[in-house]
Amino acid sequence: MAGRMEGKVSFITGAGRGQGRAHAVKQASEGADIIAIDICENIESNPYPLSSWDDLMATKALVEGQGRKCVAIKADVRDRNQLREALAEGVSQLGQLTTVCANAGILPMAMGDPNPLDFQDAIDVDLIGVMNTVAVAIPHLIPAGRGASIIITGSTAALIPNTMSPSVDPRTLMGPGGSGYSWSKKALVGYTEQMALHLASSGARVNVVHPTNCNTHLMNSEGIYKIFRPDLEEVTREDFIPASEHYHALPTPWIEPEEVADLVLYLASDESKSMTGASIPIDAGCMVKWPNGPG
């Protein structure tokens, strides 16, 4: 039986681990070849380490284990030229691009003194990095016509009203980096709508997904733990679990990367051929529980 991604080539940023790796493996299991990009080094303001080259190679091996090809390249989404070259190399090896997963992201929530530049660091990766990814992909996508799909990774932070309010004290735990993250994710909703409109006549589609707490390195970081348990000096994963579960309507503390990959697979496949410009939560019901923001 033909897979749901048969004949497709997917460009995935942040593919070294977490959700990006889950997208790569899931889409390969349905017949796609993968161009996998990751920074493979750390960003100073980000308090937890990012993927390594070995992580990206592990993703490549997993894709190849599905019987598909994977071109894995170290590139920084902040650098449009690097991305352009990486994608050109991938397309020259794998052929016409059909799918883009603009997934790479950081959450530079400084634990010490807040640094205003962390706001800029978040925006450079979480907003400009997405725009760079889409910009370099468009020339490769448009001739593909109907079937081309761009999936952007947002966050429930894009949907929660109070995370961008000027009344949120920038010296709180969110700090400038956390605010920059929320600000970027919110901006991605409007960006998705704009790009969906401008690309529609070419047949290419653009949608954004909004995961809640997802079981990856980003979630299992001191910053996220402390946001959920500001009452504790030292927060463990066990302390975080009940607070994260309270955030959701469904009885779960988090979702798994593979669940997001299932949704992204649907948006990448032709099954969603009439969907564009959509902003889709995968949030265990947190937005219906907290429509005005968590109390």
Ligand X SMILES: NC(=O)c1ccc[n+]([C@@H]2O[C@H](COP(=O)([O-])OP(=O)(O)OC[C@H]3O[C@@H](n4cnc5c(N)ncnc54)[C@H](O)[C@@H]3O)[C@@H](O)[C@H]2O)c1
Would you tell me which residues interact with ligand X (CB under 6 A)?
A: 13-14, 16-20, 37-39, 50-51, 76-78, 103-106, 125, 129, 153, 155, 211, 213-214, 216-219
- Closer by beta carbon to ligand X, 149 or else 182: 182
* CA 226 – CA 105 distance, rounded (Å): 19
Which residue matches tokens 């800029």?
A: 120
- Closer by beta carbon to ligand X, 103 or else 149: 103
* b/e 159-179 (16+ beta carbons within 10 angstroms → b): bbeebeeeeeeeeebbbbbbb
- Closer by beta carbon to ligand X, 176 or else 211: 211
Close Cβ partners of 151 (under 8 Å, ≥ 6 residues apart)? 99, 100, 101, 102, 206, 207, 208, 209, 264, 267, 268
**Known active-site residue 247:** no
CA dihedral 185, 89, 59, 43 (to 10 degrees): -50
The first and second tokens of residue 212, run together, are 């809640």
Q: How far is the CB of 106 from ligand X (least distance, A)?
A: 5
Q: How far is the CB of 49 from ligand X (least distance, A)?
A: 8
- Closer by beta carbon to ligand X, 98 or else 216: 216
Q: How far is the CB of 6 from ligand X (least distance, A)?
A: 26
The residue annotated as part of the active site, out of 48, 181, 191, 247, is 181
Catalytic residue numbers?
A: 181
